[in-house]
Structure 1
């Protein structure tokens, strides 16, 4: 299984026209980036514009932006779609954005800080170099319409009442999870459902079977992402940064085989899916000798690049309806919470 996602999405610094201030470099003049948001026929909704590091950010995968700004609906409806990033540290950036038609974006919560059903997004990001002491002007085209919203979910069934789901690290254990699509009353534009389709990452028209087990892979992709605590080591990348360690999960394909008929252009919808844990840990695409014990997040990634994960910041809100978003996941040694496992 290949997962083209690292860390979390669109944390926002501010919503003012000038974007998020960045700390300047002593003795070096700042730069400026300005332009117009164009391409959407609807004046409805606020437009959000992001600056990422070169090569990062949607649609390539979730990433943390360097700066963010907004073009409010009030200004857009008056014919003013300007955006401006002032006082930028000079250097290369990647410009990307979307139009929040449904008004359900909340930039204080990363799982809600992304486009949803009916929103317009940049087809691809714009690579731009911001020189010192000068400004660059770019247009941002919002031409691609999102068909579906983020794959929001909650985990149901046995083992969820205590607030922690434990998963044994044993390769002999068969662990399954049941997840139910749930917009939590926060996502608009469509009924909360999983939109299941065959994975075709290389665009050759044939379904992917990366692990060679004879079963085609499906979107949404699900995986457990390791959240190491202090003292828990993870493999390093070539640049010295920590690798993302995941444990893959697969959707039970039986309910969808007949509906999809091997056609990568078809799509089936479901209110719930059954997941099976694959007992192997991957650092990137490299299998590890053993699965790290400890805390994990359960992630879902849609075919359009939208994501959801649990536990998330919504689970800390004082709402009974959002308690499902606080559910924790722990992989334990040999199936025993006390068998050499980190303290909770």
Structure 2
């Protein structure tokens, strides 16, 4: 579940936000994708558009876009909603984007390069089959408004040295507490965790995917393995590395009475206690099968990120770009997580 990392693409936005200039003649051998943004709400904020590989586009997936374009608020307000992707190689893509109505998106910061509460997004991405030299017209409708703020957080008690050390023990029970925290970078209402029972089918019956007799909850939390050079993970049938995660279980006891087994209810809370499930899983997307989850024999040692996902696809993880900024870094967003062997002479436990 890699983030929508747009740092390498942000430099290209300066010219795009200024307007759509005609590409030089020598570039017209490449294809172009162009069209209009169709807004369901007010023309307030900049619109960002992306071309993804077919299996990496939001809202179902997350990946790194191959092309980026934008339409500034000034142009949208004047009625000029045109966008253009130039020099597009022939391939299959998915077009997706969002309107940053609150002005708090930042494509140079990993966790801020996504829509949040009040922004407008399409119902789904649009598949495009781009042919050589083609000028492909396509519009993108931004018809759904995002309700949830991003699940931004920090760990309540920071670990000494900025690192939380856990072990690969299959028996040790560890927990820590996260607090919803906008860190001064998110606009609108204060961040909250909106706790609700999961109901993927929308049939009113709460989900229990693993059959353990405990209802699944939103938001979801997990530790995501970040392998270093030389560390291996399982591969899919195309040779791509699997995502390896360690699930975290929110302590839902304080909220179960309020939820009452009803998937339509939710409880807004400021903090959650998370229990580490001492088991690692590899996640692979296979054609025709969808997501394939395999339990690994051991929790890999190494570095991890702490992730939160909400039911609208919004995400947050620590450490992130806010903690790595050279100017005004946020220490609460720089916390690292490390798994060591249980026999190692290292500190363990919760921060």
TM-score, normalising length: structure 2: 0.89
Count, aligned residues: 326
SS where residue 190 of structure 2 aligns? Answer: coil
- Determine whether 1:332 maps to 2:340: yes
SS where residue 224 of structure 1 aligns? Answer: strand
Which string of whole-angstrom CA distances, capped at 9 and with x for unpartnered residues, describes residues 228-259 of structure 1? 11111111111111111100001101121111
Structure 2 CA distance for partners of 1:335 and 1:190, relative to 1, 3 Å: farther
The aligned runs of 1:2-151 (5 Å cut-off) are 6-12=1-7, 13=9, 14-15=12-13, 16-17=15-16, 29-151=29-151
How big is the shift at 1:316? 1.5
- Determine whether 1:169 maps to 2:168: yes
Correspondence for 1:190: 189
Which string of whole-angstrom CA distances, capped at 9 and with x for unpartnered residues, describes residues 109-133 of structure 1? 1100100111010110000111111
Which string of whole-angstrom CA distances, capped at 9 and with x for unpartnered residues, describes residues 274-296 of structure 1? 00011110011100011101110
Give structure 1 regions of 4+ aligned residues with deviation exceeding 4 angstroms: 318-321
Greater mean deviation of Cα atoms: 329-338 or 148-157:
329-338
- Tell me which of 318, 322, 326 is aligned to 1:314: 322
8 Å contact from structure 2 (residues 52, 64) kept in 1: yes
TM-score, normalising length: structure 1: 0.90
Which string of whole-angstrom CA distances, capped at 9 and with x for unpartnered residues, describes residues 255-274 of structure 1? 21111111112111111000
How big is the shift at 1:182? 0.4
How big is the shift at 1:162? 2.2
How big is the shift at 1:30? 1.3
How big is the shift at 1:134? 1.4
8 Å contact from structure 2 (residues 43, 76) kept in 1: yes
How big is the shift at 1:319? 6.2
Q: Supply the distance in 1 between the matched residues of 2:329 and 2:321 (Cα, whole angstroms).
A: 13
Correspondence for 1:207: 206
Q: Which runs of 5+ in 1 are unaligned?
A: 1-5, 20-27, 340-344
8 Å contact from structure 2 (residues 196, 266) kept in 1: yes
Q: Supply the distance in 2 between the matched residues of 1:196 and 1:310 (Cα, whole angstroms).
A: 20
Which string of whole-angstrom CA distances, capped at 9 and with x for unpartnered residues, describes residues 86-144 of structure 1? 11001111001110010001100110010011101011000011111111111101001
Correspondence for 1:342: none
Q: Which runs of 5+ in 2 are unaligned?
A: 20-27, 284-292
Q: Supply the distance in 1 between the matched residues of 2:62 and 2:257 (Cα, whole angstroms).
A: 32
How big is the shift at 1:321? 6.8
Q: Supply the distance in 2 between the matched residues of 1:107 and 1:146 (Cα, whole angstroms).
A: 18
Q: Supply the distance in 2 between the matched residues of 1:219 and 1:84 (Cα, whole angstroms).
A: 37
How big is the shift at 1:10? 4.3
8 Å contact from structure 1 (residues 169, 335) kept in 2: no
SS where residue 172 of structure 1 aligns? Answer: coil
Which string of whole-angstrom CA distances, capped at 9 and with x for unpartnered residues, describes residues 181-227 of structure 1? 00000001211111111112233321111222211111111000111
